[in-house]
């Protein structure tokens, strides 16, 4: 089973990389960019076949390694 983990910075956490991206977009002349936040995508391939079990296992992986929950949130998408 394939799953995608999306890791984003919590709101309120300073994101200097996002700010640099926003600045660069403005520098290229893209008007109306009101914010940019960067994050990570991790695609996993797991032997499990049960979507609920996969979701539970990936949540544990996020809590223990994939995300730092002091500053990051994560979402899990089961891709089938």
Partner 1 sequence: MRSAVVVFPGSNRERDAIKALTAITGQAPAVVWHQDVTIPDVDLIVLPGGFSYGDYLRCGAIAARSPAMQDVARKAAAGVRVLGVCNGFQILTEAGLLPGVLMRNANLRFICKEVKLKVANADTDFTRAYGPDQIIRCPVAHHDGNYFADPETLARVEGEGRVAFRYAEGTNPNGSLNDIAGVLNAEGNVLGMMPHPENLIEALHGGLDGRGVFESVVKTLAA
Binding mask 12-31 for partner 1 (x = CB under 8 A): -xx-xx--x-----------
Q: Which of residues 24-63 bind partner 1 (CB under 8 A)?
A: none
Residues 4 and 42 sit within 8 Å (Cβ to Cβ): yes
Structure tokens, 28: 């290229």
Q: Binders of partner 1: how many residues, by CB under 8 A?
A: 11
Dihedral of CA 33/11/56/42: which sign? positive
By the criterion CB under 8 A, which residues form the site for partner 1? 13-14, 16-17, 20, 64-66, 68, 70-71
């Amino acid at each position: 089973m394939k799953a995608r983990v999306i890791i984003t910075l919590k709101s309120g956490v300073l994101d200097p990389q996002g700010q640099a991206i926003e600045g660069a977009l403005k520098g290229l002349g893209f008007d109306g960019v009101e914010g940019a936040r960067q994050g990570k995508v991790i695609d996993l391939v797991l032997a499990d076949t049960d979507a609920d079990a996969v979701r539970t296992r990936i949540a544990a992986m996020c809590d223990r390694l994939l995300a730092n929950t002091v500053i990051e949130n994560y979402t899990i998408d089961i891709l089938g």
